[in-house]
Amino acid sequence: MSEYFSNIKTSTTTIATGLAITLRHFFNAVKRKGDAGIDDADFFKQVDGLCTLQYPREVIPTPVNARYRLYNNIDDCIGCNQCDRACPVECITIETIKVTADDLAVCGKTSGGQQKRMWVPVFDIDVAKCMTCGICVSVCPTDCLVHSPVADFSEFDVKNMVYHFGNLSKIEAEAKKKKLELEKVAKAKAAEAAAASGAAPAPKPAPKPAPKPAGSEAGE
Partner 1 sequence: MSSSPSLNTWSDALSGFTLGGFPLGLVIVAAIPLVFIALYALTYGVYGERKISAFMQDRLGPMEVGPWGILQTLADILKLLQKEDIVPTVADKFLFVIGPLIMFVGSFLAFAVLPFSPAFIGADLNVGLFYAVGIVSLEVVGILASGWGSNNKWALYGAIRSVAQIVSYEIPASIALLCGAMMAGSLSMQHFNVVQSGPYGFLHFFLFKNPIAWLPFIIYFISSLAETNRAPFDIPEAESELVAGFFTEYSGMKFAMFFLAEYGSMFMVSAVLSIVFLGGWASPLPNIGGLALNDMTNGPVWGAFWIITKGFFFIFVQMWLRWTLPRLRVDQLMYLCWKVLTPFAFIAFVLTAIWEIYM
Partner 2 sequence: MQELGKAELNTTRIIRQDDNRVVIEKDLDTEYMVLSMGPQHPSTHGVLRLECITDGEVVVEAEPYLGYLHRCFEKYCEKIDYPAIVPYTDRMDYLAGINTELAYCITVEKLLDIEIPRRVEFIRVITAELNRIASHLVAIGTYGIDLGAFTPFLFCFRDREIILSLLEWVSGARMLYHYVWIGGLSYDVPADFKKRVSEFVNYFKPKVVELQKLLTENEIFVKRTKGIGIMPAEVAINYGWSGPMLRGSGVKWDLRRNDPYSIYPELEFDIPVPDGKFSDVGDSLSRHLVRALEMDESLKIIEQCLDKMPEVSGFDPRAVIPKRIRPKAGEVYGRAENPRGEVGFYIVSDGKSTKPLRCKARSSCFVNLSAMKDLSKGQLIPDLVAIIGSIDIVLGEVDR
Q: Which spans of this chain sit near partner 1 (rule: CB under 8 A)?
A: 8, 15, 18-19, 21-23, 25-26, 28-29, 49-52, 54
How near is the Cβ of 34 to partner 1 at its closest, in Å?
A: 14
Which is nearest to 82 in space by CA: 164, 141, 144?
A: 141
138 binds partner 2 (CB under 8 A): yes
Choose the contact partner of 98 out of partner 1, partner 2, none; CB within 5 to 8 A by kind: none
Q: Is 51 in the site for partner 2 (CB under 8 A)?
A: yes
Q: How far is CA 113 from CA 74, 75, 102, 110, 209, in A?
A: 14, 11, 18, 5, 19
User: What's the one-letter identity of residue 112?
Assistant: G
- The three-class DSSP label of residue 162 is strand
Partner interacting with residue 201 (select from partner 1, partner 2, none; CB below 5-8 Å by kind) = none
Query: Cβ-count burial of 80 within 10 angstroms (0-12 exposed, 13-18 middle, 19+ buried)?
Result: middle
Q: Is 105 a binder of partner 2 (CB under 8 A)?
A: no
Residue 141 engages partner 2 in binding (rule: CB under 8 A) = no
69 near partner 2, rule: CB under 8 A: no
Q: Which does 2 bind (CB under 5 to 8 A by kind): partner 2, partner 1, none?
A: none
Among residues 86, 175, 186, 214, which is the contact residue for partner 2, using CB under 8 A? Answer: 86
Between 57 and 195, CB nearer to partner 2: 57
Options 2, 54, 65, 154; binder of partner 2; rule CB under 8 A: 65
Three-point CA angle 90, 128, 117, nearest 5°: 50
Number of H helices, E strands in the chain: 5, 5
